[in-house]
Amino acid sequence: MTDTFPSDKSNILQSFSERSEKTDLVDGLRFILWTFLRWLFICLPIGLILGSATAIAFWYIYEPTFKATSWIKIDSSRDTLAFTDLAKEESKLFADTQIQLMRSPLVIGESLKVPAVAELSDIKNALDPVEWLTERVTVRSVGRSELYVIEVEGNNAGFTFAATNAIVDAYMNFHAQRDSEELQQTLELLEQERERWSKEIERLSGTVRHITSTIFGHTTPLISNGSITSTDENLDEMRLVEIETDRQILEARLRAMEKPLHFENHIAPTAASDHVTKTEALLVDQYNKLKLLQSHRNRILQISTKGELDPRVLKTQKEIDQINDEIETLLETRQQRVIQDLEQAERHRRQKEIAELKQEIHEKTEVEELFRDRKNKNNNKQEGLEERLVELEFARSELERCEQVHSRISYRATALRTEMRAQKRVSIVQRARLPKQPDDDGPVKTMIFLFATCLAVPFALAFGWEMRIQRIIETEQVSNASNVAMIGEIAALPARNRRLTETEFQRDQNVYDASVNSVCTSLNLSDQLKDVKVINVASAISSEGKSSLSSQLAVGLARVTSEPTLLIDADLRKPDLHEIFQISNEVGLVDVLEGKSTIEKTVVTDWHEHLHLLPAGRCKISPHTLLGNGSFEALLHELRGSYRYIIIDAAPVLLASESLILAKAADGTVLCAMKDRTRFAQIRLLADRLSSAGVTILGAVLTGVKASDYYHKYGGEYNYGESNYISNENFITNKT
């Protein structure tokens, strides 16, 4: 025989996994659809009202956003006219430094001096105008190029246009002024050094002429034949000249850095005053008091008939003026502290650079002394005439060295003067233009988004709520939660209304009867339940169809088996079987257990020949005390010989602990869960409590299933049309 099953275990596991994933997907979609339909008529009106209100509110508060853009170019290296060696003097952090400088208080504060910027109401009312404007300024690079964009965003097109150009102008002026001052100071120091070396050259020239005249009797320059100095000595001499030149340049830079810096010239007064931080508690308190007093003054003006002459208005205005004076005093005090802090930071930076220059000069000096020592040692080796020749050669070397240093300094000064006229590293590519239309897409898209979001919020909350409480919506959920087998489903009892025709009502009634009969037949024909006589019906909480299930179960068993069946209303806290069957509840189970009446006098036997009823009666003591003394077990023992089935309608287990006593006394318990009401956790807790008490659970029944769902799931068009037999409902309401 051919094996039709896959032999590979991994294929089997994969098949089960795929099937499980499909089932989870279907269950998830079913849950979403069920939740949507359940909450549709609640969430939809709420969502429509909320979405409409939000969209309308946004329409009234919406302000268009404008953005003005200016383009600048920041060269990564210096452009030169003639002296290309200066292009090597660049910094990797130059561009980043310029970006931060554009958004610094030095530039932003200077831009606030422009009337078109300073007169904006938002800036006037801002606690810190510099910070307010800084938050709306964006500086970003364009791709991997040297182009940068400066953008200012705001609700006023004219303001963004004026602010962008004001920031660009303030930055360019600050950048140009600072570079010009540093270059001018360096040139002045280089000129001083060049003049000093010119005097040194004149002195050394006289020394060379004197030594030449002493040796040869005339001032003819000595032409070296190459025997006095070696190649190594020439290299040392060249290196010494280069080192000494570098040292002189570093010393010139050091002297420039050590000059006093008039820092106040670099700080815009507006920037300093606006740099007052809003985190100062006292200043914030004064502003808050000022706003409260102004609001109080306006309210008095609205209700006063004297206007500005009202004494209360004059008193409040006096307090407002006093607080304004205090705020001005605080701002002036903080202004000086800001200037001192900025000056201290600049001095700290200069001290750090001075320390680095001194260290570099010290290193150059040590190397220079080393070469001089080597040169002096070589000079001391000459004797006699050679000593004079060496002295002459040394003087010439010193002269040449001084001339080279002088030449380098002159070259440097000339290069700086020439390159001062070269193109700057920062240049404006395009100034900002007045925005003609808002930068955003307008309020329509945002309103649609807000409307859709608000419309979805109630449904999202409904989904969250349903996921949290986990209602039972499918039969499989009951068995999964309770870990017991399902006996069946019972359709919801139809009710007459305008939406149902007589034919549809009769069909739903037949579906309901068929579902009850199906459960009764399952209990009656099951081999495992053939010895079961006493069946307890238990639910987790109230209003889950427990009494309806027990009633219909008793009616169905009586009709299916045609044997004596007893229905006991053991819900002593809230009995309702007497209302269902329309019998008296004056005497019942309570009286039998208390010994006030006998079972023969209490059981209602005239309702139907196969179905007898035992109402609950009126309980005036604790049900737990009444049922827990063993009298109920004795009563069941007495009744077992008279009835084929005894159905017990007990109180909800999670609300009444005496229900466990009833369930323990019965042969088995049927769990009752109602669709769309019972929660997953509740049915699980119900099963756990019954199992912990040693109760035999026969199975579970799901009630409240829609007749249409049951109709399509189990029968379709088969035999659910017009009925030719008496329904269970008629069986209950029509006494025989």
Q: In a 3-state reduction of DSSP, which class is residue 418?
A: helix
Kindly report the pTM of this predicted structure: 0.48
Is residue 565 within 8 Å of residue 554, measured between CB atoms? Answer: yes
Q: Hunting for tokens 């229900």 — which residue is that?
A: 659
Averaged pLDDT for residues 571-581: 87
Taking only the tens place, the pLDDT of each residue in 439-451 is 766 677 888 888 8
pLDDT band at 544 (very low <50, low <70, confident <90, very high): confident
pLDDT band at 172 (very low <50, low <70, confident <90, very high): confident
Q: Is the dihedral of CA 226, 228, 234, 238 positive or negative?
A: negative
Taking only the tens place, the pLDDT of each residue in 315-359 is 888 888 888 888 888 777 777 776 777 778 778 877 888 888 888
Q: How many CA atoms lie within 13 A of 545 on its CB side?
A: 24
Averaged pLDDT for residues 258-281: 51
Domains identified in the chain and CATH numbers: 9-62+442-467 (no CATH), 66-430 (no CATH), 470-733 (3.40.50.300)
Alpha helices in 381-441 (DSSP H): 385-419
State the Cα–Cα distance between residues 710 and 414, nearest whole angstrom.
Answer: 102
Lowest mean pLDDT among 209-218, 310-319, 523-532, 642-651: 209-218
Output the pLDDT for position 234. 65
Structure tokens at 579: 């209302």
**Residue-wise burial string across 301-328, b where 16 or more C-beta atoms lie within 10 A, e elsewhere:** eeeeeeeeebeebeebeeebeebeeebe
Q: List the strands of the sheet with 565-569, edge to edge.
A: 486-491, 697-705, 668-674, 534-539, 645-649, 565-569, 611-614
Q: Is the dihedral of CA 41, 44, 47, 50 positive or negative?
A: negative
Is residue 649 within 8 Å of residue 570, measured between CB atoms? Answer: yes
> Residue 581, Cα to own-chain centre: how many angstroms?
60
Give CA angle at 110 (108, 113), nearest 5°.
Answer: 115
Alpha helices in 577-658 (DSSP H): 577-581, 589-594, 599-602, 623-627, 631-639
Structure tokens at 297: 């003054």
